[in-house]
Amino acid sequence: YSELADLRVSLERKVAERNVELEEAVERQKRIGSEIEHQSRRLTDARDMAERDLLMAEKVQRGFFPASAPVTTDWDIAMVFRPASRISGDFFDFFLGEGDGGPCLDGLVIGDVSGRGMGPGLVSVLARSVISRRWPSLRGQGLGQAMAELNRELSGELGGVDEFLTCILLRMEGGKV
């Protein structure tokens, strides 16, 4: 009986020690669960903010490009612009002048910035803006000279950017390209 009583006391002590260990483990698990939940909320908030930023960048970029092709007296123009992703490194613009019967197409640019995402999208907006702003002053120059000037200006603006900019610049004169 004495041995059984000692065994019972020993078992009760071991059960009590194990209960303390289990309660500590449960508390650690609760703290870990709480930390995981907190980090999950932070990630969700960051994802939501990135999504809002991406949506805003998409809207801004689309606002910089023509929504439809211009109606001119000398060319029948149609276009569709569907970027592969929400922010595009592709860009385009139409340059209009005045003809005998109304607006005429002076030229157009179609370009692409290498890479994907926000960086190339910003570069495409800048490139399109520089080319559009400079078009009137380049009108009387040869295309080679005009491209050299555009390249110098864009290289100065984009000196530290690793993406490549490729574009085609077309000039229209009297129904000829």
Whole-number pLDDT of residue 142: 86
Task: Yes or no: say if 125 and 157 are a contact pair by the CB < 8 Å rule.
Answer: no
pLDDT along the chain (177 residues), means of 10: 87 93 95 96 94 88 87 88 84 87 88 86 89 88 88 84 86 82
What's at 133, amino acid-wise? R
- For residue 168, CA distances in Å to 12, 48, 85, 96, 144 come to 86, 37, 22, 17, 12
Task: Yes or no: say if 106 and 97 are a contact pair by the CB < 8 Å rule.
Answer: yes
Task: Yes or no: say if 135 and 95 are a contact pair by the CB < 8 Å rule.
Answer: yes
As given in the structure block, the two tokens for residue 59 are 């809207």
Q: How far apart are CA 59 and CA 8, in angstroms?
A: 75
Whole-number pLDDT of residue 165: 87
Q: How far apart are CA 165 and CA 113, in angstroms?
A: 5
Number of H helices, E strands in the chain: 3, 3
Question: The whole model's pTM is what?
Answer: 0.71
Task: Yes or no: say if 170 and 111 are a contact pair by the CB < 8 Å rule.
Answer: no
Q: How far apart are CA 124 and CA 170, in angstroms?
A: 18
